[in-house]
Homo-oligomer: A and B are copies of this chain.
């Protein structure tokens, strides 16, 4: 069942205990959406907590400020299970064993699989956090002045990270209007500057090293319209996981490249020959079409899939799909 904003708000009002599930390998949007919604539910006196299969990067530690710790003690037996920014149950990672019965899915992916009893979906939203902000405003009856800096910061984190700080082509007038609303509050200009510095400006020495490795081995195909970067486990051995965030945008950033492919070898030793493929596209090429054929999904400009095989086998399979789209 598809819900609209007012129906979703009613669902939250009529219940008291909520477990909010983020997707595995959490990014700023799933975490920002989860913590913002959790904080707003606490404001309404509800009990709510945020769970994720994988540990979040320490860069996101500040998001927990949105929480009232006493209200994170949730009675799961009578509670409702919500997913945020999760298109498919599979993306819950290890949490999918325990949580198979989802009451409400809050999401913005066109590839959403409608796995929950009810779904609040806005595929026009650049970030799930945009939809969460709409939902928070609905829950507050439009009285957003009472929503504090911590929740605003969590929403901003989701919007800014999913739009590449308002740089990616998914950015809309609404993304900016929400940022303006969020920042029009005491201390938010300074908070936003700190987030932007951590997320988009600061580079660790490890990150600089990773980018130098990535660019030194870049390959071009189809008249330079497609660039491929391969990162093997060896190349990643001395690189911190946090330093690999958004590395998938590097191949597509090269002038003239329309499709950027990152092949990243998965990091546990049982995963030899298993690859995570990230496809990023510029104008007119559908990344999701490339990846859905290969068993993955995502957005028009950013999609992914997982494949098994030697690097050459995997590359050949992906390039065959790219060629069809060019």
Contacts and interface: CB of A to CB of B under 8 A. Distances in A.
Interface of A: 160, 164-169, 171-174, 176-177, 179-184, 188-190, 192-194, 196-197, 200-205, 208, 211-212, 215, 249, 252-255, 282-283
Prevailing SS type, chain A contact patch = helix
A208 B177 contact: no
A61 to B, nearest CB: 16
B189 A180 contact: no
Interchain residue pairs A-B with the least CB separation, the first 8: A169-B193, A173-B183, A176-B180, A177-B180, A176-B179, A173-B184, A204-B255, A176-B176
Q: How many copies does the complex hold?
A: 2
B197 A171 contact: no
B169 A173 contact: no
A189 B202 contact: no
Contact of A189 (B172, B194, B205): B172
Contacts of A165: 165-167
Given A173-B183, A173-B188, A194-B283, 17 more contacts: A160-B166, A165-B166, A168-B196, A169-B196, A169-B197, A171-B192, A172-B183, A173-B180, A173-B181, A173-B182, A173-B184, A174-B180, A176-B176, A180-B180, A201-B249, A203-B254, A205-B255
A181 B172 CA distance: 11
Contacts of A177: 176-177, 180
Contacts of A203: 253-255
Given A166-B165, A167-B201, A201-B249, A173 B189 contact: yes
Nearest to A201: B253
25 contacts: A165-B166, A166-B166, A166-B196, A168-B196, A169-B196, A171-B189, A171-B192, A171-B193, A173-B181, A173-B184, A173-B188, A173-B189, A176-B179, A176-B180, A180-B180, A193-B283, A197-B282, A197-B283, A201-B249, A201-B252, A202-B254, A203-B253, A203-B254, A205-B254, A211-B211
